[in-house]
């Protein structure tokens, strides 16, 4: 008999980048499934507003933790805030993106992107996976991307960081599933979130591109948790992924770079 979602991934979920977009939607849908939620992000007012919403809508416990995950000692402060609450599901959603010419990039910004997109989810997974293994149940979601499957000129560091998340899920997934812990790489395409705002003007010039809403992305992720190692949400994204696969790695990278180049904000 299949276990209930709450038994498999409860009683507490921890969602990073929870103040908006995909992270906030994960919090809503997990609370609707009866999980208590730890909300982690920098914007305290937004976390408090979301916590109030979730308590009223779902009657669950919510712990807002306003925190910059790149600040010194952030992991220790987060663990102190969580305390003895058993985290049954970790959603590594916090991240940042960049587009632009590699030779003109701000290297400090790119290094922070790399830290937030890779080092932070690594540290959090290592921190909370042992408790899941001990309980024999749990799950970890890594936020990858549709561009995790190939190089992407004009967004190389971001693409590489998302490839890390995909490969990490594929790598530790078989280890942890032996102990009842499910690992999923979520690989969305363009999603209507604040992160998209930096390139939104360029999207208008590419009519063939489609954006998804965060609620649909999260529904696909939760439906796939425990059933597959990676999921590309949305039929259009699946078609686009298949098309770039047919082009081969180099051809797919050139195609992706052609799209990304058009999204680079003007000077």
- Which letter does DSSP use for residue 195 in this model? G
103-118 residues labelled b (16+ CB within 10 A) or e (exposed): eebeeeebeebbebbb
Q: Which residues lie closer than 8 Å to 66 by C-beta, 6 or more apart?
A: 41, 42, 43, 44, 47
Q: How many CA atoms lie within 13 A of 128 on its CB side?
A: 35
β-sheet bridge partners, residue 130: none
- Is 238 designated active site? no
Helix (H) or strand (E) holding 65: strand 62-66
| CB 105, CB 157: distance < 8 Å | yes
- Torsion angle, CA of 214/60/3/141, rounded to 10 degrees? 40
Options 9, 154, 158, 238, the catalytic residue: 158
Examine the residue annotation and report whether 154 is marked as an active-site residue of this protein.
no
Active site residues: 158, 162
């Amino acid at each position: 008999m299949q276990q209930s979602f709450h038994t498999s991934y409860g009683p507490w979920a921890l969602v990073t980048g929870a103040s908006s977009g995909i992270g906030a939607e994960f919090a809503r849908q997990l609370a609707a499934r009866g999980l208590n939620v730890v909300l982690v992000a920098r914007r305290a007012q937004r976390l408090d507003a979301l916590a109030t919403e979730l308590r009223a809508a779902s009657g669950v416990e919510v712990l807002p933790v306003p925190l910059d995950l790149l600040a010194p000692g952030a992991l220790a402060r987060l663990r102190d805030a969580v305390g003895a609450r058993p985290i049954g599901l970790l959603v590594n959603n916090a991240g940042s993106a960049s587009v632009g010419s590699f030779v003109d990039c701000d290297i400090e910004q790119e290094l922070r992107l790399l830290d937030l997109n890779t080092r932070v989810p690594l540290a959090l997974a290592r921190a909370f996976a042992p408790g899941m293994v001990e309980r024999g149940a749990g799950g970890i979601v890594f936020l990858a991307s549709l561009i995790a499957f190939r190089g992407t000129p004009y967004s190389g560091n971001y693409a590489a960081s998302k490839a890390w998340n995909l490969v990490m899920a594929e790598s530790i997934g078989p280890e942890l599933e032996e102990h009842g812990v499910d690992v999923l790489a979520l690989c969305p395409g363009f999603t209507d979130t604040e992160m998209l705002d930096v390139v939104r003007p360029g999207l208008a010039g590419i009519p063939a591109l489609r954006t998804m809403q965060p609620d649909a992305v999260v529904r696909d992720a939760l439906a796939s948790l425990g059933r597959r190692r990676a999921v590309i949400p949305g039929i259009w994204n699946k078609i686009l992924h298949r098309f770039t696969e047919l082009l081969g790695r180099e051809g797919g990278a050139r195609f992706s770079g052609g799209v990304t180049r058009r999204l680079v904000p003007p000077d």
